[in-house]
Amino acid sequence: MTKTTYRASARLALGALIVAISCGTALAEDVFTPCGDSALAGLAGSLCAVSHMPLRPNDPEAGAVNLFIRKFPSASGTTTGEIWLIAGGPGESGASFYPFLDTFRRAFPDRDLIVPDHRGTGYSTRLCPAEEAADSPAGPSLTDDEWGSCIGSMYRDVERTHAFTITNASHDLSQIITRYRGDGSVQVYAVSYGTQLVLRMLQAAPVPLDGIVLDGLVPLESSPEWDLSHRTKVVDKVGRNLLSPAQAHAYAALLKTPDLDALVAPSAPGGNLRQFLGTLLNFPDLRDQIPAVLSGLGEGDASRLVQVRAELNAAFEPFGRYPQSSPALPLVFLMNASENNGRRDLTANVVEAEARDALFTSPLPGLLVSPSAPLYDRDAYFGRPAVALPRTLVVHGTLDPNTPYEGAVDHASELAKAGDVTFATVVDGAHMLPFVAPECFVRIVSAFDARTEVPSSCASRPQRNH
């Protein structure tokens, strides 16, 4: 199937599914039924449901949101329980897990996999319903022309906009786990923002669980030095770890070369080499090529950079193959700027100054400058110490450019005060371990699931020599 044909069939499947949801024929509330898009790759046999939740948990009369949930029954035909897979973001839908279902099945054998879309993402109710509709010009994504009306709608109904909070999303998660839980054990796997969401749920709306796995654990909310406005610092540290002192020195000199912009412009988006290389840190096979890319550029040769750019485009393909895959950017801007940025007075000059000496950069700090959204205030749950935890596994890569390893270690130490917490390190692992280090992930998580000894560390890559 060509990409064009696949996209066309995916759009038709999305339209059919949305019609089914709105008509209430194929997806009845509280009942899993065969999905309307099960012909898409990897979705055969999946079951879908839509659950209606209050817009605000403490105000049932304020309106409702729809939450989309997909269930993948155990491949063995027998079920000993279920694993809820909680996506990151905050703008990612559950579709981010679909390409890696085989890895999850290996880690959690004989389990049903249940994958919800957070409010504001995927097939769930969107923050800007008109602009993110399936039949809008770019489908769930936004065109340049749609951003103005989306932002305008957020300001016109601020009360609705301010209901899209982490705490309200945690109530959603608590209710759907309670509503749909079956027989056997019930565990949760969460990655990145999903770890923040699950921990917030255990504070604001606790639900009995037999275990949780936290992959890419976010730093403590009470540690402002790790918030998103400091992401370039995190990315730069990870990137420098890949380079010898001599390579780092040569790269710094390369950045001052007058003709560098013309050399990298065709392959590095916007001609921003530092940000492009920061993106590569998320893909270990591409990350390992950074020294060779820099060596070539130092000799005036961009061919390796061109090759890596093509490989990066291919690496992104699994994350965009489903209609619900598009990141919900309005939600990203709203939640990140409201809750995960401690510097609301951040300016472009400060961002530039803090990145001036960085060899690798992140776009996130710049996106937090003067966000075009009506921000809400953090609530009483933000920054609270952990409450009682079920059995908990924290599994984290040492070269994670999104959630810093040091922040995860500190956070896990605090979590251990509230329950039985095991920490496992994936040496040289990046972000979202089922994707970047599947063998280590399966080895560690399956041991935790089987209640056998969990390896304290696992090497995801051959040892590097500087």
Question: Can you give the residue range of the structural domain that contains 440?
Answer: 392-459
In a domain, 52, yes or no: yes
- Rounded to whole angstroms, how far apart are CA atoms 101 and 86? 13
The answer on 183 and 54 residing in a single domain is yes
Q: Which of 371, 13, 386, 462 is nearest to 161 (CA)?
A: 371
Give the end of a domain, one of 320, 353, 384: 320
Structural contact between residues 37 and 14, judged by C-beta atoms closer than 8 angstroms: yes
Q: Which of 177, 154, 204, 136 is nearest to 49 (CA)?
A: 177
Alpha helices in 288-432 (DSSP H): 290-298, 303-316, 329-339, 348-355, 364-367, 405-415
3-state percent breakdown (helix, strand, coil) of the chain, nearest 5: 45, 15, 40
Alpha helices in 181-283 (DSSP H): 193-204, 231-241, 245-255, 260-264, 273-280
Reported for 199-202, long-range contacts at CB under 8 A and 24+ positions apart, including other chains, are: 199/386, 199/415, 200/166, 200/167, 200/169, 200/170, 200/381, 201/170, 201/171, 201/173, 201/174, 202/386, 202/387, 202/388, 202/389
How many domains, in total, are found in the chain? 3
Q: What's residue 9's pLDDT? A: 43
What's the DSSP call for residue 424?
E
Q: What's residue 294's pLDDT? A: 97
The answer on 397 and 249 residing in a single domain is no
Q: Could you tell me which residues come within 8 angstroms of residue 353 by beta carbon, excluding any fewer than 6 positions away?
A: none
In a domain, 328, yes or no: no
In a domain, 234, yes or no: no
In a domain, 179, yes or no: yes
How large is the angle between the packed helices 290-298 and 273-280, nearest 10 degrees?
A: 160
Q: What's residue 21's pLDDT? A: 44
The answer on 187 and 273 residing in a single domain is no
Residue 105, amino acid: R
Residue 86, amino acid: I
Q: What is the mean pLDDT of each run of 10 residues along the chain (466 residues)?
A: 41 46 46 91 93 93 94 90 95 94 94 97 94 86 91 96 97 96 95 98 96 97 92 97 96 94 88 95 96 95 95 86 89 95 94 96 94 94 93 98 96 96 97 96 96 94 59
Give the end of a domain, one of 266, 295, 320: 320
The answer on 77 and 184 residing in a single domain is yes
Query: Residues 323, 329, 334, 340: is their CA dihedral positive or negative?
Result: positive
- Domain of 182: which CATH number? 3.40.50
The answer on 249 and 203 residing in a single domain is no
The answer on 201 and 64 residing in a single domain is yes
- Rounded to whole angstroms, how far apart are CA atoms 324 and 93? 7
Q: What's residue 112's pLDDT? A: 97
Q: What is the pTM of this model?
A: 0.92
The answer on 90 and 177 residing in a single domain is yes
Structural contact between residues 18 and 126, judged by C-beta atoms closer than 8 angstroms: no
How far are the Cα atoms of 210, 421, 452 from residue 391, in angstroms, in the given order? 7, 6, 13
In a domain, 301, yes or no: yes
The answer on 277 and 181 residing in a single domain is no
Question: Which residue reads 């054998």 in tokens?
Answer: 109
Q: Which of 352, 370, 147, 360 is nearest to 268 (CA)?
A: 360
In a domain, 413, yes or no: yes
How large is the angle between the packed helices 329-339 and 144-156, nearest 10 degrees?
A: 50
- The structure tokens listed for 91 are 């703008």
- The structure tokens listed for 30 are 């509280």
In a domain, 373, yes or no: no
The answer on 101 and 178 residing in a single domain is yes
- Rounded to whole angstroms, how far apart are CA atoms 179 and 28? 13
- Rounded to whole angstroms, how far apart are CA atoms 305 and 213? 37
Residue 215, classified by CB atoms within 10 Å of its CB into exposed (0-12), middle (13-18) or buried (19+), is: buried
Q: Which of 362, 389, 188, 168 is nearest to 275 (CA)?
A: 362
CB-facing half-sphere around the CA of 260: CA atoms within 13 A: 18
What's the DSSP call for residue 37?
T
Q: What's residue 8's pLDDT? A: 41
Q: Which of 361, 195, 193, 226 is nearest to 281 (CA)?
A: 361
The answer on 299 and 198 residing in a single domain is no
Bridge partners of residue 211, in order along the sequence:
187
- Rounded to whole angstroms, how far apart are CA atoms 396 and 421? 13
Structural contact between residues 168 and 200, judged by C-beta atoms closer than 8 angstroms: no
The answer on 31 and 96 residing in a single domain is yes
The answer on 114 and 20 residing in a single domain is yes
Q: What's residue 316's pLDDT? A: 86
Question: Which residue reads 């639900």 in tokens?
Answer: 207
Bridge partners of residue 185, in order along the sequence:
81
Give the end of a domain, one of 320, 354, 382: 320
In a domain, 351, yes or no: no
